[in-house]
Amino acid sequence: MKQPKQSNQSVSEGKDGRRLQQFIPPEGVPITLAIASLGSRLGAQILDIIFTSLFILVCAFAIVFTGGLPENAATILIILLGFLLRTPYYVLSELIWNGRTLGKRITGIRVINVDGRRLTPHQVTARNLMKEVEIFVPMGLLFTIGAQSALEAWLTVLWLLAVVIVPLANRRRQRIGDVIAGTLVVDNPRSVLLSDLALSSPAKASSQPAFEFLPEHLDIYGKYELQTLEDVLRDTTKKPNTEEIIKIVRTITRRIRFEDAVKPGQEMLFLNDFYRAQREHLESLKLFGKARENKYHEHTKTEAKKLV
């Protein structure tokens, strides 16, 4: 079956509103990763700033209180330390932990290469050098905004706006440094393997399912409805026999014109059986190259015929 042709850098909207970046590693199988939200990136940045400033503070205290150095040498040393803990900290930690700083590790995000290849040292350096202009200098200017003249204050505000707007206006949430380096910040993927509903259904206990579905029953729905049903069945907060479940069962039986009445108490059994039968049916259709997206598949077919 042919995969639809995808560019290496397509962005789509996920089901839960997250943006998904699809990219193709050298193996040729497209992988999707969720683009990190600006909130978690901001959180990671704030954490990193806290960590580095704490470290500098501790070192400064240690240098001053041990008092082994002449005063001007101590000052130079502390300032050098401050210099080393800015851009070099981000570059080195992202190199060592493959795209993660301490803050990023905590908030569960990481930097990846847009090209689908490994992150290069050049990219890490480039994106973090730009961080100076995009984050540290505007931050410093913001602290002195009281002492600035009107023109300077306006320039600071303009600068801040430009820096904030770029990742907001950008589909992939890249800041200027990311664009230049060709990198992307994504959520760390987490994987949980849920049980297979087709196996765990109660019908498995008895060899014969309680409900029989005819092909015309199964010809109504498509992939979208099946996976919506999957969500309902997997949702552990929904208890059987609630109003909602009964309503879902009623809707399905009416829509597929299922004649047998579903007895009270058998709703979950019905849904599980229907899920299994529908999935089997759709998967075999898929096998023959007749994949169906949703319940409108028949309409689209007739409309397509009309157009021809």
Binding site for another protein (CB under 8 A): 1, 3, 25, 27, 29, 31-33, 71-73, 75-76, 79-80, 82-83, 87, 92, 95-96, 98-99, 110, 112, 117-122, 125-126, 129-130, 132-133, 137, 176, 179-182, 188-194, 196-199, 223, 226-227, 230-231, 234, 276, 279-280, 282-284, 286-287
How far is Cα 107 from Cα 45, in angstroms, rounded to an integer? 10
| Angstrom distances, CA of residue 241 to CA of 88, 203, 294 | 59, 18, 27
| Angstrom distances, CA of residue 164 to CA of 103, 129, 148, 151, 160 | 20, 17, 21, 20, 6
Minimum distance from residue 176 beta carbon to another protein (Å): 7
Minimum distance from residue 215 beta carbon to another protein (Å): 16
Q: Judge residue 107's burial from the number of C-beta atoms within 10 Å of its C-beta, 0-12 exposed, 13-18 middle, 19 or more buried.
A: buried
The secondary structure of 9-31 as a DSSP string is TEEEE-TTS-EEEEE--TTS--E
CA angle (52, 54, 58) in 5-degree steps:
120
The secondary structure of 13-78 as a DSSP string is E-TTS-EEEEE--TTS--EEEEBPPHHHHHHHHHHHHHHHHHHHHHHHHHHHHH--S-HHHHHHHH
Minimum distance from residue 155 beta carbon to another protein (Å): 12
One-letter amino acid of 61: F
How far is Cα 171 from Cα 156, in angstroms, rounded to an integer? 25
One-letter amino acid of 94: E
Minimum distance from residue 308 beta carbon to another protein (Å): 27
| CB nearer to another protein: pick between 227 and 242 | 227
Output the CA torsion 297→298→303→305 (10° steps): 110
Minimum distance from residue 255 beta carbon to another protein (Å): 19
| CB nearer to another protein: pick between 198 and 246 | 198
| CB nearer to another protein: pick between 43 and 116 | 116
Minimum distance from residue 259 beta carbon to another protein (Å): 25
| CB nearer to another protein: pick between 269 and 277 | 277
DSSP class of residue 133 equals I
Minimum distance from residue 211 beta carbon to another protein (Å): 16
